[in-house]
Structure 1
Amino acid sequence: MKIGKKIKELRIKKGLTQEELADRCELSKGFISQLERDLTSPSINTLMDILECLGTNIKDFFNDNSDEKIVFKKEDAFEKENPDLKNIISWIVPNAQKNIMEPIIITLDEGGSSEIDAPHDGEEFGYVLSGSIILVVGNKMFKLKKGQCFYFKPNSNHYIKNNGKTKAQILWVSSPPSF
């Protein structure tokens, strides 16, 4: 990894000249210049001092989020079939459990349902992609068809079921992840 370019970007972002950074770190302007051009390497202690002056730390400096995946394809999804409940759950964003929200696509065969989810903090959103479903929230039931959506705070038991004669498919997003 070429750290010089990254240090230069942080320095510019902070609005500092090479001389100002050098003064703050008790280093020479020449050293900062060579460092930014990857002509020299700092000791760990010097790097830690520079990063502290730039308002960051070693962990964050080397944590490269540029490889964060943004676009997901069909082959990235993970599916699980539940023959007892007559459903297939497709996790369309792998490892979404670590995120703030977790989107799935759930396909319900005729007579199929999701598991009953207990009350929890957060929010639930669903969009009916095809077919029709019954949303059960506590003791209330709501009928939804293709093109309709639901949104609620899961303060009571909740689930969806398919009482129709065709498959139903729903995009369901839970925050925080609960699937």
Structure 2
Amino acid sequence: MNMVKPPSPSESSREDKTQSNPVRLGARLKLARQTRGLTLKALAQAADCSESLLSKIENGKASPSLPMLHRLVQALDSNIGWMFEETDGEEGVVFRAGTRPLIALDPLRRGEGISLERIIPYSPGHLLQCNIHHIDAGGESAGPIQHVGEEVGYVLVGEIELMIGDKSFRLSAGDSFVFNSELAHWYRNMGTERASIFWVNTPPTF
């Protein structure tokens, strides 16, 4: 008889945080829109999306792709990181294994297969932003995207294809990269197993 191992507390908390993201994201998006005195129609037009989709996002019934999220925060003169802002750990210095938030950008739809594990929480006081990008087999980032800054990455496990501008790079565990964030960029998992990338960028954008 096969026994199914119940999830550990840390796994359960991660799952809860991931599943609650659409509601939290929608609430913060709506707050930012209302604070700036924008109607749903005005923000939808500015972000080049439908009013009905934006309404679903604000109500936690849909999640935006990363490019759409970039357009929304640009229209709101905000920061993506604020949409997912977390509480600091022990004195804002130490963040224990199993307690770091795991963010799925598109948990209510099939597609990207990517989640971001926060190494440090978003905070206006940080100059850097650091996540581990976990990409399921067949997963890829929505894109290409462009923004101000510089990015550095180190492939922890798996095989990925990294596209920067008109160039494509095949990377595997142990490879690293750096590029100007103003260049259009996106990536995908080229292997049969989950890939993970330790990713740092500045200034914080997500």
Structure 1 length normalisation: TM-score?
A: 0.57
Taking the aligned partners of 1:151 and 1:80, their CA distance within structure 2 comes to 23
Report the CA distance between 1:91 and its aligned residue. Answer: 1.2
Q: Give a deviation string over 1:71-123, Cα, whole Å, max 9, x none.
A: 22123311122342011111121224641111001111111122325322211
Match of residue 181 from structure 2:
154
Match of 1:125 among 128, 152, 155: 152
Is structure 2 residue 83 aligned with structure 1 residue 79? no
Match of residue 178 from structure 1:
205
Q: Tell me how many residue pairs correspond in the alignment.
A: 113
For the pair shown, the structure with the greater C-alpha radius of gyration is: 1
Change in 2 beyond 3 A, CA 1:140/1:158: same
Percent identity of equivalent pairs = 34
Is structure 2 residue 118 aligned with structure 1 residue 95? no
Is structure 2 residue 182 aligned with structure 1 residue 145? no
Contact 2:155–2:196 (CA under 8 A) maintained in structure 1: yes
Change in 2 beyond 3 A, CA 1:143/1:88: same
Taking the aligned partners of 2:154 and 2:123, their CA distance within structure 1 comes to 18
Q: Give a deviation string over 1:2-26, Cα, whole Å, max 9, x none.
A: xxxxxxxxxxxxxxxxxxxxxxxxx
Instruction: Supply the RMSD in Å over aligned alpha carbons.
Output: 1.9
Of residues 114-123 and 86-95 in structure 1, the stretch that sits farther from structure 2 once superposed is 114-123
| Structure 1, gaps ≥5 residues long | 1-66
Taking the aligned partners of 1:76 and 1:168, their CA distance within structure 2 comes to 21
Taking the aligned partners of 2:115 and 2:201, their CA distance within structure 1 comes to 17
Report the CA distance between 1:68 and its aligned residue. Answer: 4.4
Match of residue 114 from structure 1:
141
Match of 1:136 among 157, 163, 176: 163
SS, match of residue 99 in structure 1: coil
Contact 1:86–1:112 (CA under 8 A) maintained in structure 2: yes
Of residues 86-95 and 140-149 in structure 1, the stretch that sits farther from structure 2 once superposed is 86-95
Contact 1:74–1:92 (CA under 8 A) maintained in structure 2: no
Q: Which runs of 4+ in 1 moved over 4 A?
A: none
